A and B are shown apart, each in its own frame.
Chain A
Amino acid sequence: MHRGVLQNKKYIKFADANTVEVIALGRLGEGISKKDKRADTYTTKSGETYLVEFPGMTVAQMNAVRGSKAGSYNKTGKIPYTAIVNPHTGEEITSLPGGQSSKSLMEAVLGAKKKLNKQYGASLSRKTLRKVEKAGREIRQYLDISDINKAMRTLSKLEKKTAKEGDALKAKVAGIRKDILDHATKMLDTVEGLIARDELKTASKTLGKLKRALKKTALETRANELDEKLKAKKAAASDE
């Protein structure tokens, strides 16, 4: 089952840095029913059935991958077969029928990656992607407690760190910014409601924090307008 490659320490490390790996496994049901050792499964406490040979993959996921486009590349009718695919077009860059050594596969992958880099720009490292995802999780936690200040500070650092990265990553970071501003918009709506109901102390407390956080954002004007409104209401209240 291609163990020489897929369980090869050197290839595992290489794949983490250079590829996205997909396995299209044919006639898995037959393998399981015939108790083929390579189709051994185990069931977790949550009831999901995983394949021993393919850690992290459930039988359901494996069958779905086989039924997807991934299962369409091998037109030889024989296995094993390896396709190196351009993710942007779905086009097969390199076709490798028969068994491969990890060395020959790594060489072929590097050739394909070079083509992608020439056409679409530099690759992004998973390390950088992990940093963005970590910051995204941290920001979501801040949003859960409506701490827009900390969310914006974390975003600002992230935007600086990823300023020179490609468009795809920048789009991911832009998505995080949108989530923050959407949350802040809801908070401004709440503040507006508080002002309308003359709950000025609560409105002032929330708006004060928001105003600082929303400086130089698309919501700065609205925060300032609400602040003016709040000041006017406070002045009117003190005159009475």
Chain B
Amino acid sequence: MRRLIATLAAVALVSSVGSAGKHDIKPSVGYAPSWAAAVEEAKLLNVPIVVHSHGFF
């Protein structure tokens, strides 16, 4: 939820800097900002980490 809020805040931030017209930011899952943060939070919650591998190739 923290990351969900961060995501919503990011959407709001883009709006505040006037880029909302250029970028269509859609609601998304909240991502862990680092692997260490993901492990720490998932251990605490005792839930699995889902690693999505994507890319530009």
For the complex, count residues of A whose C-beta is within 8 A of B: 81
Residue of A nearest to B57 (CB): A27
Residue from the set B10, B14, B38, B52 with the largest chain A CB neighbour count within 10 Å: B52
B31 touches A21 (CB 8 A): yes
Residues of A at the B interface (CB closer than 8 Å) are: 1-3, 5-7, 9, 11-12, 15-16, 18-28, 30-31, 34, 36, 38-40, 42, 44-45, 50, 52-57, 61, 64-65, 68-71, 73-74, 79-88, 90, 93, 105, 109, 112-113, 116-117, 120-127, 129-130, 133, 166, 168-169, 172
Interface size class of B (residues with CB under 8 A): 35 or more
Complex: A64 Cα to B53 Cα, angstroms = 14
A-B contact count (CB 8 A): 214
Question: Which chain B residues border A44 with CB–CB below 8 Å?
Answer: 13, 17
B52 touches A87 (CB 8 A): no
Question: Which chain A residues border B42 with CB–CB below 8 Å?
Answer: 19-20, 85, 87
Partner of A116, one of B4, B47, B56: B47
A168 touches B52 (CB 8 A): no
